[in-house]
């Protein structure tokens, strides 16, 4: 009979028992209520059963961490303290790391070693700032935790029905919050990141949970650089639709400029290039009316310009020397009124208007008398 057969049979029975314990605990977790209905009582019951099975079956670090990770995912959305769960995860994570570094134990008792020196406690990192930025190809969230680097786990919560966009979950270990109140729960106006919420889920060991709600289901990645945890949500991908720009309403046309209202007409007559009536739509002076009529004719007498105005049925006239106004008294350039007449006489005229009456010049009368005398003599 093979002497190793009983030993092998016992080892196989032990592995079978351990496997059965794990299956029993996983069956309990599967039958547990959904995370939305998780309470402190269900957590206490699950932890108690975990302790009992782990002790009875003699589970090692790998088996314990597998079960604890399932519990962490089950209670990731819980709003109560998970310190006991995370303390147990850290405990067996350290045990697993120590087991990897330890060489296989020899059959003989190892020599006594000097006690290790007590190491100072690691300084906690501080989550002090959260910044959301937007670019043409991605939306980015930057979490600053100094001194870095820090440890973090990445997870996501998705709606099974696909009706709601996913939520990216970041669990930052070994850090505490020192954020402004507005940064603990804020909305982003544009981009793929819709809302950011932070909460301390465990005080010892310290664990901060950061929930990042997205507007659309897009690929994302996380990375760490110089004490910063960077979440990048890519806009490009097979589900990206071409953005259709919204139609820009045309700018309203400016109202048509109103034509200046006519106040009446003035009349520029005599030795000008374009005599006739002209509309008085604004302020108009005597000299401006001459320019409006094309300027003086070559035979115009600029020192005898007459302005005739009707004042309550009575015609009144004034005479102006435009040479004098141009050279010495520009302030006397009179403003015209509706109905005014501007008369520009010609040079060599044998008549002139005085006080509203016409008078024949003396030498013209003399010629007429001489003609009468000659008529009698003949």
pLDDT tens-digit series, residues 165-198: 889 998 988 888 888 888 888 888 888 998 999 9
User: Which of the residue ranges 251-255, 305-309, 325-329 would you say has the lowest mean pLDDT?
Assistant: 251-255
d(CA 216, CA 244): 17
Say whether pLDDT at 103 is over 60: no
pLDDT score for 355:
42
Share of the chain above pLDDT 70, in %: 69
DSSP state of 272: B
Say whether pLDDT at 26 is over 80: no
Say whether pLDDT at 95 is over 50: yes
For residue 352, name the pLDDT band (cuts at 50, 70, 90): very low
pLDDT score for 211:
92
CB contact at 8 A, 317 and 356: yes
Over residues 283-293, the pLDDT tens digits come to: 888 888 888 88
Core vs surface per residue 296-321: b (16+ CB within 10 A) or e: bbeebbbebbbbbbeeeeeeeeeebb
Say whether pLDDT at 329 is over 60: yes
d(CA 210, CA 169): 6
Other CB atoms within 10 A of residue 65 CB: 19
Share of the chain above pLDDT 90, in %: 5
Say whether pLDDT at 270 is over 80: yes
User: Which whole number is the average pLDDT over 291-312?
Assistant: 85
What would the DSSP string read from start to end of 325-370? Answer: HHHT-GGG-PBP-TT-EEEEPBTT-S--EETTEE---HHHHHHHHH
User: Which whole number is the average pLDDT over 244-273?
Assistant: 69
User: Which whole number is the average pLDDT over 68-75?
Assistant: 88
Q: Kindly calculate the radius of gyration of the chain based on its CA atoms and give it in whole angstroms.
A: 53
Task: Please report where in the chains the tokens 């000299």 appear, as a residue.
Answer: 287
pLDDT score for 350:
46
For residue 140, name the pLDDT band (cuts at 50, 70, 90): very high
Report the mean per-residue pLDDT for the chain: 76
């Amino acid at each position: 009979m093979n002497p190793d057969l009983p030993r092998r049979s016992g080892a196989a029975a032990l592995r079978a028992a351990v496997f059965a314990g794990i299956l029993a605990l996983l069956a309990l977790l599967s039958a547990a209520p959904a995370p939305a209905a998780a309470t402190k009582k269900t957590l206490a019951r699950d932890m108690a059963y975990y302790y009992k099975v782990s002790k009875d079956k003699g589970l090692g670090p790998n088996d314990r961490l597998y079960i604890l990770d399932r519990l962490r995912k089950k209670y990731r959305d819980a709003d109560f303290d998970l310190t006991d769960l995370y303390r147990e995860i850290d405990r067996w994570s350290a045990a697993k790391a120590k087991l990897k570094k330890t060489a296989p134990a020899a059959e003989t008792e190892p020599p006594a070693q000097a006690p290790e020196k007590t190491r100072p406690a690691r300084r906690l990192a501080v989550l002090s700032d959260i910044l959301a930025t937007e670019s043409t190809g991605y939306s980015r969230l930057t979490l600053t935790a100094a001194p870095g680097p820090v440890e973090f786990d990445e997870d996501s919560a998705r709606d099974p029905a696909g009706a709601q966009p996913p939520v990216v979950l970041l669990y930052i270990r070994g850090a505490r919050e020192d954020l402004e109140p507005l940064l603990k729960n804020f909305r982003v106006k544009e981009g793929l990141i819709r809302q950011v919420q932070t909460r301390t889920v465990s005080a010892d060991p310290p664990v901060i949970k950061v929930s990042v709600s997205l507007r659309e289901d897009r690929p994302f990645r996380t990375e760490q650089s110089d004490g910063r945890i960077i979440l990048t949500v890519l806009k490009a991908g097979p589900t990206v639709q071409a953005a259709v720009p919204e139609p820009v309403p045309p700018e309203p046309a400016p109202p048509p400029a109103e034509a200046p209202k006519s106040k009446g007409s003035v009349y520029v007559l005599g030795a000008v290039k374009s005599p006739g009536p002209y509309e008085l739509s604004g302020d108009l002076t005597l000299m401006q009316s001459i320019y409006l009529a094309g300027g003086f004719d070559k035979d115009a007498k600029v020192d005898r310009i007459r302005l005739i105005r009707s004042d309550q049925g009575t015609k009144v006239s004034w005479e102006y020397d435009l040479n004098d106004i141009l050279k010495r008294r520009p302030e006397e350039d009179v403003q015209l009124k509706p109905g005014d007449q501007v008369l520009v006489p010609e040079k060599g005229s044998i008549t002139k208007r005085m006080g509203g009456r016409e008078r024949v010049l003396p030498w013209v009368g003399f010629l007429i008398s001489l003609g009468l005398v000659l008529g009698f003599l003949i």
